[in-house]
Structure 1
């Protein structure tokens, strides 16, 4: 029951990693505030959680909206202890293929959502000393093909993590980043379906191709990444701040030029 008497705000909480994190927090005794652009998926996650879940649909990149989310959280639960900045999206295209609108969208959905949410939550988090977990990506450490906006913004989340950890540690606030590799989520499923069509296989076959050279040889589940997030958000990680934790089945341990020798 690591989250007893703990309130956790999760952005992008309607599906995938965000939804799994909400379920894990409540299973460990906590209360959750679920926010995202679409209300229906948030309700689907919240309904089985009962009174432990509060649904507040909002665009996490909107300052006024997130100010309202924090205020409603304090009104309902009287405190805010942990923020999981999980909202995100695509940033497709190489540099020459990325127009101004696509670039701005990648920054908004992947970076501004985290920045605005954290900025609006910091006063409440500083009251008792809180924790922030930013969900970056393996793309925050390495570059994938033709995803310049995604790679750039996921790298920037790590810089934001370190900046928050440095500036607000004196207020008892911790900030850490998680970098998942391939995770079975609705967004990843769409990417795998595209790969499957190219390779003449199905979705499971595409995941197999994508993780062929990953040491554990498989993608993560949302629940496995949620376990890492909840560890960092909990008091078990009380001395951990400014850290970047990979949850990538060993992907980042692989030296690409040596794959030919396997």
Structure 2
């Protein structure tokens, strides 16, 4: 019960890592605000958890939407103890095929939303001496072919994480990032491989332990980094990648 009496926001909570994280935090006592553009999916997750979870319709690509999610959490609970920035988008293609609109959407959802949510939540996290866990990726630590935009946003999340960790350390706010390898989620299973690519360039970008990991593996890392067990941990990029990025 490391999260008893803690108010936690989880974005991307309708499915995948976000849903697994919400359920894991709930088992440890957290009161949850579940943000997702798929409000029905977030509601289904909230129902599976119980009355301690509140679904909120949330559009990550909108700065106003990000601020609105924080405002709704404060209106409902009066405080925020932890922000889990998990909502994300995966899209990939050879560079010449990746047009401006796809780039702009990737940056808005994967990077700008993390900035807007963190900025809006920070005064409340300072008041509670809370923390942020951002979802980066193994692709934020290395380059991945045909994924220039995705890699750029996830490298950006890591840079933002480190900067905020330093800036707010004296205020008692911790900020960390998690860097998973491929995760067994609908987002990954629905990906379509671009045509005419060199598959050999992608072979290094997988877990050395074998299969893709489960969302619950990532959720466990979130629960640790957000808890008092990690009270001296801040500014890290925590791989959950089966040695993908080890060398």
What is the TM-score of this pair, normalised by structure 2?
0.92
Residues 212 and 133 of structure 1, relative CA distance in 2, 3 Å threshold? closer
Give CA-to-partner distance per residue, 1:45-99, whole Å, 9 cap, x none: 1102121101111112323223222222122222100001111102423332222
The one of 183, 207, 219 equivalent to 1:214 is 207
Instruction: State the distance in 2 between where 1:21 and 1:105 align.
Output: 24
Note if contact 1:93-1:149 (Cα within 8 Å) is conserved in structure 2. Answer: no
Given the alignment of the two structures, is residue 230 of structure 1 paired with residue 223 of structure 2, yes or no? yes
Given the alignment of the two structures, is residue 246 of structure 1 paired with residue 239 of structure 2, yes or no? yes
Q: Give the secondary structure class of the aligned counterpart of 2:115.
A: helix
Instruction: State the distance in 2 between where 1:87 and 1:247 align.
Output: 17
Note if contact 1:5-1:29 (Cα within 8 Å) is conserved in structure 2. Answer: yes
Structure showing greater radius of gyration is 1
Match in the other structure for 2:106: 106
Could you say which structure has the higher helix fraction?
1
Instruction: State the distance in 2 between where 1:98 and 1:119 align.
Output: 29
The answer for unaligned runs of 5 or more in structure 2 is 197-201
Match in the other structure for 2:115: 115
Q: Give the secondary structure class of the aligned counterpart of 1:90.
A: coil
Instruction: State the distance in 2 between where 1:215 and 1:153 align.
Output: 24
Match in the other structure for 1:206: none
Q: Give the secondary structure class of the aligned counterpart of 2:54.
A: strand
Given the alignment of the two structures, is residue 26 of structure 1 paired with residue 19 of structure 2, yes or no? no
Residue 213 of structure 1: how far off its partner (Å): 6.7
> Structure 1 residues 82-91 or 175-184, which shifts more?
82-91
Q: Give the secondary structure class of the aligned counterpart of 1:154.
A: helix
Note if contact 1:37-1:59 (Cα within 8 Å) is conserved in structure 2. Answer: yes
Match in the other structure for 1:149: 149
Q: Give the secondary structure class of the aligned counterpart of 2:76.
A: helix
Note if contact 2:130-2:172 (Cα within 8 Å) is conserved in structure 1. Answer: yes
Instruction: State the distance in 1 between where 2:94 and 2:103 align.
Output: 11
Give CA-to-partner distance per residue, 1:171-193, whole Å, 9 cap, x none: 111000100001101111123xx
* CA RMSD between the two structures: 2.0
Greater RCO structure (CA 8 Å; 6+ sep): 2
Q: Give the secondary structure class of the aligned counterpart of 1:51.
A: coil
Give CA-to-partner distance per residue, 1:177-224, whole Å, 9 cap, x none: 100001101111123xx46x99xxxxxxxxxx9799733112110011
Give CA-to-partner distance per residue, 1:104-133, whole Å, 9 cap, x none: 111111101111111111111110211101
Match in the other structure for 1:87: 87
Aligned length: 241
Match in the other structure for 2:166: 166
Residues 222 and 211 of structure 1, relative CA distance in 2, 3 Å threshold? farther
Match in the other structure for 1:188: 188
Runs (4+) off by over 6 Å: 209-213
The answer for unaligned runs of 5 or more in structure 1 is 199-208, 256-262
Instruction: State the distance in 2 between where 1:99 and 1:212 align.
Output: 24
Residue 136 of structure 1: how far off its partner (Å): 0.5
Residues 174 and 98 of structure 1, relative CA distance in 2, 3 Å threshold? same
